């Protein structure tokens, strides 16, 4: 089942060579030599996994072994961890834009199908349901026919290649009922009306809670005939389950009996475990705030009417191989890790990109004299051991050549600079955004005092920054990933050139508790921008955790690319001759 779950998770991506693309990693955790029989059990488990993978024609080239999972105490007592294997799957994707989302599409002109991957009777042994009853059980589901499993996998892949599946979810922990509910949880509207009469099992509990490998897919009614033909030709077992509904419930029917589940109430139950863990990890009441707001803060998007979503709108050539003559430098320190996404964003917008290490500046090898824009990328410079960007800032402040180079660059009137995440922290630490202020703003630990990684929406107010000025009035989705992202600003909001604000003032929509919900600040003249969220990780629709559904498959690019294009165009019109 570990292998089958890894594969039913990865099946939603169109793989370059189907199942032949897949490689597995197996992490064995076993209490070997701790008591009689454990070594034999491990051997038997490895043999079973090997046989199954050979039958599927996939490899397991790597993994990790933890074979001393035993804790012994001075009184002689001993605790033995249960034998476990964790399997991860990886593969080359043929087209990332065809990856199927797990979110129910609330369209009554669609149908939900159950596709069986196990070729086995429904069993409850080892299931989450059994464990919730204080039991384990002795009859567990199996994949009875590896060749059948392979055929089911490839059939779903064919449906995805042909764009016939608009949503899908694997069946694993929690069974079919959890699969259906999770598809609904991810959409704030609508529900499902399901009829289980076509399933060859009379026990409603087994139908809903058995964890036999399988998937649920959603297809448009106009494509049903083609979908069913492909599944039948592949000799794969499937049944029609039902349809979405605009009512916020999951209605299940079996043999004339109806069972109604309130989606929002069950989502609270589903979330409760996360809340209890959050309480142990988050400070300052952030766990309670997340529990209060997690259903009240949807990602909101608004694109300006002028945005067309096409490369041609910005005169972008993604296949460009000739220099443009407009040069940007990425400056990085040990621990910087966002330079590749940033370099590509700059290149796509028309820059020639240069890679500059701090050692180049400290030694004097790099002067930045031929550079029009510098970018400080995200990451964890010097592993954050001195605090975020503190050590990086010291590299400029306490090295004469690096400081002279930076001062000379900022003294020019034809330059731009951008700091993202760790780079934003650096710019604030060096006072590069508001050098006129007597009291400097600071970047503090997130209000939750833990690392925050999430997809949020930001509002771009009317502003006169070079990069974000044309996006004023937009609401855009963006990734955040930081531990010290709280803007602590000593002056009133109007003393700052705020160019991006989190869409919600409260946590988690404001992930760090920044004053005035600030996500980005610009210098008074608009040329220099310090921003905590990662716009360079959100330039393509497929990079977004949420995107406007009617534009997802139409747009080549997101509005964030405009920031980089604006920078290139400004430099082209303002650069001074060398």
Q: What is the pLDDT of residue 345?
A: 98
pTM of the model: 0.92
DSSP 354-391: EEEEHHHHHHTS---TT-SEEEEPPB-GGGGTTSTTHH
Cβ 86 vs Cβ 96: under 8 Å: no
Cβ 567 vs Cβ 411: under 8 Å: no
> Cα–Cα distances in Å, from 302 out to 460, 471, 475, 559?
10, 10, 5, 10
Cβ 549 vs Cβ 543: under 8 Å: no
Q: What is the pLDDT of residue 66?
A: 87
Q: What is the pLDDT of residue 575?
A: 73
Q: What is the pLDDT of residue 545?
A: 95
Q: Cite the active site residues.
A: 421, 534, 536
Domains and CATH numbers, the chain: 23-90 (no CATH), 94-268 (3.90.650.10), 290-574 (3.40.50.880)
Cα 128 from Cα 151, distance rounded (Å): 28
Q: What is the pLDDT of residue 246?
A: 97
DSSP 85-146: EEEEEE--BS-GGGPPPSSPP--TTEEEEEEESS-S----TT-HHHHHTT---S-------H
Positive or negative CA dihedral for 97, 100, 105, 110?
A: positive
Q: What is the pLDDT of residue 213?
A: 97
Q: What is the pLDDT of residue 34?
A: 76
Q: What is the pLDDT of residue 17?
A: 95
- 442 phi/psi in degrees, rounded to 5: -130, 160
Cα 442 from Cα 306, distance rounded (Å): 36
Could you tell me the mean pLDDT of each successive run of 10 residues in the chain, 578 residues long? 96 96 95 86 95 96 88 89 94 95 96 96 94 91 95 98 97 96 94 96 95 97 98 97 97 96 96 96 97 95 98 96 96 95 98 98 97 97 90 96 98 97 98 96 97 98 98 98 97 98 98 98 98 98 95 96 98 79
439: Cβ contacts below 8 Å, ≥ 6 apart: 490, 491
For residue 108, give the nearest of 240, 244, 221, 219 by alpha carbon.
244
Collapse the DSSP code of 493 into the 3-class scheme (helix H, G, I; strand E, B; otherwise coil) and give the result.
Answer: helix
Cα 526 from Cα 513, distance rounded (Å): 24
């Amino acid at each position: 089942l570990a292998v089958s779950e890894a594969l039913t998770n990865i099946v939603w991506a169109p793989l370059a060579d189907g199942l032949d693309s897949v490689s597995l990693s197996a992490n064995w955790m076993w209490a070997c030599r701790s008591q009689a029989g454990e070594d034999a059990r491990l051997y038997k488990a490895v043999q079973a996994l090997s046989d199954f993978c050979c039958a599927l024609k996939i490899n397991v080239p790597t993994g990790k072994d933890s074979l001393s999972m035993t804790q012994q105490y001075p009184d002689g007592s001993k605790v033995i961890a249960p034998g476990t294997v964790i399997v991860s799957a990886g593969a080359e994707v043929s087209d990332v834009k065809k990856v199927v989302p797990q979110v129910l599409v609330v369209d009554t002109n669609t149908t939900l199908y159950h596709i069986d991957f196990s070729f086995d009777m429904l069993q409850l042994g080892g299931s989450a349901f059994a464990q919730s009853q204080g039991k384990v059980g002795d009859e567990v589901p199996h994949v009875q026919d590896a060749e059948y499993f392979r055929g089911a996998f490839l059939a779903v892949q064919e449906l995805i290649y042909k764009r016939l599946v608009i949503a899908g979810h694997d069946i694993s922990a929690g069974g079919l009922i959890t699969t259906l509910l999770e598809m609904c949880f991810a959409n704030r509207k609508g529900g499902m009306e399901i009829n289980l009469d076509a399933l060859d099992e009379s026990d409603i509990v087994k139908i809903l809670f058995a964890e036999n490998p399988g998937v649920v897919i959603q297809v448009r009614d106009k494509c049903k005939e083609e979908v069913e033909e492909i599944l039948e030709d592949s000799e794969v077992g499937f049944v029609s389950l039902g349809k979405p509904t605009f009512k916020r419930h999951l209605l299940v029917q079996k043999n004339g009996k109806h069972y109604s589940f309130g989606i929002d109430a069950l989502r609270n139950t589903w979330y409760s475990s996360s809340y209890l863990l959050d309480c142990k990890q988050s400070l300052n009441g952030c766990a309670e705030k997340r529990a209060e707001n997690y259903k009240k803060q949807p990602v909101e998007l608004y694109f300006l009417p002028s945005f067309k979503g096409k490369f041609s709108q910005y005169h972008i050539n993604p296949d460009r191989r000739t220099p443009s003559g407009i040069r940007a430098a990425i400056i990085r320190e040990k621990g910087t890790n966002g330079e590749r996404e940033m370099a590509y964003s700059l290149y796509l917008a028309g820059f020639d990109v240069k890679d500059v290490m701090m050692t180049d500046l400290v030694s004097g090898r790099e002067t930045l004299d031929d550079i029009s824009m510098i970018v400080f990328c995200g990451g964890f410079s010097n592993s954050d051991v001195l605090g975020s960007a503190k050590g990086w800032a010291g590299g400029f402040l306490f090295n004469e050549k690096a400081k002279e180079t930076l001062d000379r660059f900022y003294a020019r009137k034809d330059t731009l600079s951008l700091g993202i995440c760790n780079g934003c922290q650096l710019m604030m630490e060096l006072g590069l955004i508001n050098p006129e202020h007597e009291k400097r703003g600071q970047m503090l630990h997130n209000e939750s005092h833990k690392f925050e990684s999430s997809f949020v929406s930001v509002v771009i107010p009317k502003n006169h920054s070079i990069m974000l000025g044309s996006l004023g009035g937009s609401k855009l989705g963006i990734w955040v990933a930081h531990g010290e992202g709280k803007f602590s600003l000593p002056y009133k909001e109007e003393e700052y050139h705020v160019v991006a604000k989190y869409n919600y003032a409260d946590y988690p929509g404001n992930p760090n508790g920044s004053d005035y919900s600030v996500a980005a600040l610009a210098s008074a003249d608009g040329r220099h921008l310090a921003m905590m969220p990662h716009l360079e990780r959100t330039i393509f629709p497929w990079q977004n955790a949420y995107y406007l559904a009617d534009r997802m498959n139409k747009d080549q690019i997101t509005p964030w690319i405009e920031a980089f294009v604006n920078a290139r165009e400004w430099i082209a019109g303002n650069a001074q001759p060398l």
